[in-house]
Amino acid sequence: MARKRRLLSFHWLKSWPMLGLILLGAVIGAALLAGGATIMHKTSDSEFCVSCHSMERPLAEYQGSIHFQNPKGIRAECADCHVPHQPVDYLLTKIGALKDVYGEITGKINTEEKYNAHKLSMAESVWKTMKANDSATCRSCHSFEAMDILAQRPEARKAHPVAISEGQTCIDCHRGVAHILPDMSASNASGASQLLAAAAHTSEKATTLYAVATQSFRLTLDNEQPDGTLFPSTQVTVLQHNGDQLQARLDGWQQQDVTGAIYAAPGKRILSAVLDEAASSQVKVINSQTDSETGQRWNQVELTFWLPKNILIEDQQKIWQYASGLMTANCTGCHGLTALNHFNANQWIGVMKGMAPRTSLSEEQLRLLTQYAQKHASDSVISEGSEK
């Protein structure tokens, strides 16, 4: 019996070092876990995020947004928008943030000029991530299920049911909610180039085409000077081809005694073309009617002219897709997308002129975007594929 007790004691003496190592490992593991969690937490708070010199500009933008200060006193911190809550995504985001440390060390955006030069690519990276994860960080605070849509502003009341039915995500409409939108000029121009490339391959068998850009036209092929200007998105009917030119007929409307312009619909200031004196004299009147609201007399007209075929496209939807992209990219800095039928066709003119200085839109892009809004306005009488 005594011998068994001595063997048991000896066994325990041999086990203590192993138990000690296990206990020590557990303590070290717990310390590492707690330390790691603390580091993760501390490097996610807004104070840490904006501590770098290069974050002064983003901080100023954030402090001027509704996510920083609002009537309800609810503040979204940096991590609320930029760090997802799901464990795997959280860790991947924190690991990916090491590139920001490298960027700070190398001075990638340490001046306002460098920051502006990289702002678009940084924003597009965030938008791409949020699109891929269904705006996960936004939805940690906002959800369609919790919204009282009837209590929202008119624009939101119209937009959110559409977003729900079409499976849209927050970032589709809300891009400038915490930071001023970057200069979108390059992105805007890229879409226009794609339209022109598509127009270059338009079938010669097509009989109904749409202008992808503002284009001058001539009444006859031998005219050296233009006789007028066709506006983007305007529909024309092809009559004949001659090399790289084609003869087309424009159908539209003129206000009586105002012969310098052709509009897409009576009573609607949707410009299809502006005409010089020679072109005005060649306009053919087909019919007339009186606008019941204004009492103005409008003439249904047509005009035949020549123009380059490489600015015309058969699929009008490609023009609208480009215009929709322009609106998404340039009109969400102060608010979400406004429903197109929130204004009538004539009201959209003033809205666009008022918003233009806050965007990166060129005169040509603004012209197309105005056409897009007007032709989808609350009183639009223009159906797809017809401007008669």
pLDDT in tens, the chain (388 residues): 555 555 555 555 556 666 666 776 777 777 666 665 666 667 778 888 888 878 888 888 888 888 888 888 989 999 889 988 888 888 888 888 888 888 888 888 888 888 888 888 888 889 889 989 999 999 989 999 999 989 988 778 877 888 888 888 888 888 778 887 787 777 777 888 888 898 888 888 999 999 999 999 999 999 989 999 999 999 999 999 999 999 999 999 999 888 999 999 999 999 999 999 999 999 999 999 998 878 889 999 999 999 999 999 999 999 999 998 888 777 765 555 677 888 899 999 998 988 888 787 889 999 999 999 999 999 886 644 444 4
150 and 265, same domain (yes or no): no
> Going by DSSP bridges, is the β-strand pair 261-265/235-242 parallel, antiparallel, or unpaired?
unpaired
Does residue 299 belong to any structural domain of this protein?
yes
pLDDT of residue 388: 44
Q: What is the pLDDT of residue 384?
A: 47
Quick one: pLDDT at residue 5? Answer: 57
Q: How many domains does the chain have?
A: 3
**Residue 236, domain member (yes or no):** yes
Asked whether residue 305 falls in the same domain as residue 322, the answer is: no
Same domain, 328 and 224: no
- The reply to whether 170 sits in an annotated binding site is yes
Residue where one domain finishes, among candidates 141, 172, 203: 172
Q: What domain range includes position 80?
A: 46-172
Q: Do both 133 and 210 map to the same domain? A: no
3-class secondary structure, 265: strand
Q: Give how far the C-alpha of residue 349 lies from the chain's centroid of Cα atoms, to the nearest Å.
A: 20
Determine if residue 52 is labeled as part of a ligand binding site. yes
For residue 331, the domain's CATH number is 1.10.760
Same domain (yes/no): 292, 347? no
Within-domain flag for 388: no
Tell me how far apart the alpha carbons of residues 189 and 208 are, in angstroms, rounded to a whole number.
26
One domain for residues 119 and 227: no
H or E stretch including 16?
A: helix 2-42
Q: In CATH, what number is assigned to the domain containing residue 168?
A: 1.10.3820
Query: And the tokens for 139?
Result: 């939805």
Q: What is the pLDDT of residue 261?
A: 97
Interatomic CA distance for residues 236 and 248, integer angstroms: 6
Residues 208 and 136 in one domain: no
Largest Cα span, the chain: 128
Using CB atoms within 10 A of its CB, is residue 250 exposed (0-12), middle (13-18) or buried (19+)? buried
SS3 (DSSP) at 284:
strand
- Please answer whether residues 368 and 326 qualify as being in contact, where contact means their C-beta atoms are separated by less than 8 angstroms: yes
How far is residue 208's CA from residue 205's CA, in Å, rounded to a whole number? Answer: 9
Q: Same structural domain for residues 64 and 149?
A: yes
The answer to whether 201 is a known ligand-binding residue is no
State residue 241's pLDDT score.
95
Residue 67 assigned as binding residue:
no
My answer on whether 200 and 282 are in the same domain is yes
Same domain, 298 and 338: no
* 122 lies in the same domain as 160: yes
Last residue within a domain, chosen from 287, 313, 339: 313
Residue 111 and residue 151 in contact, taking contact as beta carbons nearer than 8 Å: no
9 backbone dihedrals φ, ψ, rounded to 5°: -60, -40
Q: Please tell me whether 160 is known to bind a ligand.
A: no
To the question of whether residue 49 is assigned a binding role by annotation, the answer is: yes
- Is 138 annotated among the ligand-binding residues? yes
Instruction: Check whether 85 is labelled as a binding-site residue.
Output: no
82 is in an annotated binding site: yes
Query: Can you give the pLDDT at residue 224?
Result: 87
Residues 324 and 298 in one domain: no
Q: Tell me what pLDDT residue 255 has.
A: 93
Q: CA quadruple 232, 273, 270, 309: dihedral positive or negative?
A: negative
Measured between alpha carbons, how far is 242 from 245 in angstroms, rounded to an integer?
Answer: 5
Closest residue by Cα to residue 387 from 259, 289, 295, 300: 300
DSSP states along 300-338: EEEEEEEEEGGGEES-HHHHHHHHHHHHHHHS-SSSSPP
